[in-house]
Amino acid sequence: MREYMTMSGDRWDLIAYRLYPDSGRERNMSRLIMANSDYVGVVIFPAGVKLNVPDEVVRSAKIIPPWRRGS
């Protein structure tokens, strides 16, 4: 788990957008909030709040295309 230091005006959605650019920003935003339960009531952050950043969850597709299936 890494850490993120907030900037003035940060919001949960903006932080997730910056930290999880590849996938699942919304899903990872929820994980980010749960990992920082002391700040769950904060809507707009001041500068200098240290947040825990959980690793990104990457889900694989459940449907496998025919050309990727074994014989």
Q: What is the DSSP letter of 63?
A: S
- Buried b / exposed e along 7-45 (16+ C-beta atoms within 10 A): eeebebeebbeebbeeeebeebbebbbeebeebeebeeb
Confidence of residue 71 (pLDDT cuts 50, 70, 90): low
* Percent of the chain surpassing pLDDT 70: 86
Say what the pLDDT of residue 37 is. Answer: 96
Say what the pLDDT of residue 50 is. Answer: 98
Give residue limits of the domains in the chain: 2-53
Q: How far apart are CA 17 and CA 64, in angstroms?
A: 28
Per the prediction, the chain carries an average pLDDT of: 86
Q: CB pairs under 8 A, 24+ apart, for 27-35?
A: 27/57, 28/54, 28/56, 28/57, 31/57, 35/1
* Percent of the chain surpassing pLDDT 90: 54
